[in-house]
Chains A and B, each alone.
Chain A
């Protein structure tokens, strides 16, 4: 395709957009809702340009207009400048405190909008919702409602059960809006620093996060590995460190749900790992609304992040006086999709997942125990059924928990335990277990691997951010 942009000739393959064509020859067109890794949205119209075809001109958005042979494009006519000025004036009136809007506006000589000044932050560019849907894959947020009420948010304006706190939305948001959202948990590097300072205690390890103790242990309760989670919960409750625990237990077959338990029986019923991600935050809020205040939450790193973010951004003490959350974080490389795992087990081993006695991941092998027999395969071969979002999560060891527990790093039948706060220390001191040797190197190796993969994925997003 051969076309002319601002009197320069450019040749580019069909299927490209006018924006790509212009940028390929160094012509800059301002954009707000465009990101190279995402489907164009055409929402902000800032990239408006004039095209001329068979003598007729019209204005189109360059970010989603495909190149055509013989097209004449003008990116800087007085009319186009006027359009951009007007758009920026409207945006500046809507979001007067946003730096990115301010600087674009001043670039175009727009300072005092003639329109009613509001104090919004979101410009409805949809970058966050698209990154969450198209790249991360969980689609926790969307542009909801219509007309003047349109806004970015989670369903029913309630805590999202789908958000994994990866922070991708915060990376792309051109304004402060996403950081002000109350129902999702984008955790940025600054958030992590703040949370560590506020809740954790110990030395900061580059890879494993803040911690004071690293031990391995085996409890008599039985469990996935050393049963340490179960033992910590039982002794914590006995010693009145909390009076309820949010745990995950099987409901039908292998499928699982988060439930609040208040006695030893309940804690025991949740033993064993279900390699799934289950709705957790709505259950936590429901428990708080039902009057529970001192709750131990057991969760994967993404869930730990979500709970911390909630503590950080909402005034929970005012909403639920006396609230005391103790967070037990699990190690996690990835989780699977229930339907996917079920189908995979059935086709791979002819095993009915719902009847499995146990599933585990050890030394790169996935092992399912059913009918007294073990079946195993490489976890790497199960990539297709990994739950969406996991590739964007860089936390293996639940860095923000009060205490983290996993299997990597300790002998078979033992759990590795990392203490990260006063509350975590108290919990460990109260528990009874036989200790064992920890191999820190193994933990570090996997933690680095997970971080590296996530960073690579997030880099694709960062690359396109302007």
Chain B
């Protein structure tokens, strides 16, 4: 799992010390820098800002912009809708899992990719489809997987 550098968390907290009502901004800073908010980070904020953990967690679990699980810099959605299934989506998923050495729902240890499956991306004619961040890649084959992933740092 992607560890969050707690020294860096301390630095971020330091920048907000003594100010009121900064929790949301502080959490967003941590989210932006690490792409998620770990239990350790919450414990640290709780200790340093003297805010109970459950209150921090309440906020972090409320805002869509915050993630309580590690999320990679790029998110791959593999369409598993019926049309894509028929056209070989399972093979594509296998290949991506093999390539990134993670399973669906997981994140690579270098935080580069998170892998998710979805039901029908609404462009069945292009199947099989994967969506990386905002970009649709359609009519792909397993052989194309590596070069597509290569486009994302």
Contact = CB atoms under 8 A, between A and B. Distances in A.
A136 to B, nearest CB: 11
Interface string A10-44: 00000000000000000000000000000000000
A155 B42 contact: yes
21 contacts: A133-B55, A138-B52, A139-B53, A139-B54, A140-B52, A140-B54, A141-B54, A142-B54, A142-B55, A143-B58, A144-B54, A144-B57, A144-B62, A146-B64, A155-B39, A155-B56, A156-B39, A156-B68, A158-B39, A161-B53, A162-B53
A144 B61 contact: yes
A145 B50 CA distance: 22
Contacts of B53: 139, 155, 161-162
Interface of A: 129, 133, 138-146, 154-156, 158, 160-162, 339
Main secondary structure of the interface of B (DSSP, over half): helix
Contacts of B57: 142, 144, 155-156
Interface in B107-138: none
A145 B58 CA distance: 7
Contacts of A142: 54-55, 57-58
Interface of B: 39, 42, 50, 52-58, 61-62, 64, 68
Contacts of B64: 146
Main secondary structure of the interface of A (DSSP, over half): loop
A463 B29 CA distance: 43
Contact of A162 (B54, B58, B61, B62): B54
Contacts of B61: 144-146
B62 A155 contact: no
Contacts of A339: 50
Nearest to B56: A155
Contacts of A154: 54
Q: List the 10 closest A-B pairs by CB distance, nearest first.
A: A139-B52, A155-B57, A142-B58, A142-B54, A144-B61, A145-B61, A155-B53, A146-B62, A139-B54, A144-B58
Contacts of B39: 155-156, 158
A152 B57 CA distance: 12
A140 B58 CA distance: 11
Contacts of A160: 54
A280 to B, nearest CB: 14
B67 to A, nearest CB: 13
Contacts of A158: 39
Contacts of B42: 155
Given A129-B54, A140-B54, A143-B58, 11 more contacts: A139-B53, A141-B54, A142-B57, A144-B54, A144-B62, A155-B42, A155-B53, A155-B54, A155-B56, A156-B68, A160-B54
A337 to B, nearest CB: 9
A162 B42 CA distance: 14
Contacts of A143: 58
A404 B39 CA distance: 33
Contacts of A129: 54
Contacts of A133: 52, 55
A162 B68 contact: no
Nearest to A149: B61
> Which of A145, A158, A160 has the largest number of chain B CB atoms within 10 A?
A145
